[in-house]
Amino acid sequence: QVQLVESGGGLVQAGGSLRLSCAASGRTFSSYAMGWFRQAPGKEREFVAAISRSGGSTYYADSVKGRFTISRDNAKNTVYLQMDSLKPEDTAVYYCAAVLASLVVTTEDGYDYWGQGTQVTVSS
């Protein structure tokens, strides 16, 4: 069982940056592949980025590639999402997710555990 708590969301102007954090409970964080998803108002939840349990592999949605960076610190049981060059269309609730797996997972139904989400709002 893993519990996930996101933080770091907020209001930022277009072109700005935010770093989201997702703290995981438990002693086996390094056994879990992690991902970030987002859900904008009136839209379905979509994949943003994923990282393997070792941190050696990452994968990004085309819409954020080159602007967002996913990373993890297994000693701190935390996964991060650094978001740069933010756009109004990045406005959404951002969720982190975990699954007991070694490789990156990019599909929503591939994850077993979810955080409660953190709001990111980008003003134009």
Please report, for residues 54, 56, 77, 122, the alpha-carbon distance to residue 116 in angstroms, rounded to integers and kept in the order given.
24, 26, 17, 20
Average pLDDT, the chain: 96
Question: How many residues are there in the chain?
Answer: 124
Long-range contacts from 60-67, C-beta under 8 angstroms, 24+ separation: 63/89, 64/90
DSSP string computed for 31-74: GEEEEEEEE-TTS--EEEEEE-TTSS-EEE-TTTTTTEEEEEET
Q: 68 near 82, Cβ under 8 Å?
A: yes
| Cα angle 73, 68, 85; round to 5 | 135
Residue 26 has a pLDDT of: 79
pLDDT band at 87 (very low <50, low <70, confident <90, very high): very high
> Looking at the predicted structure, is the pLDDT value of residue 1 above 90?
no
Contacts of 27 (CB under 8 A, 6+ apart): none
Residue in the structure block whose two tokens are 């438990």: 26
Residue 89 has a pLDDT of: 97
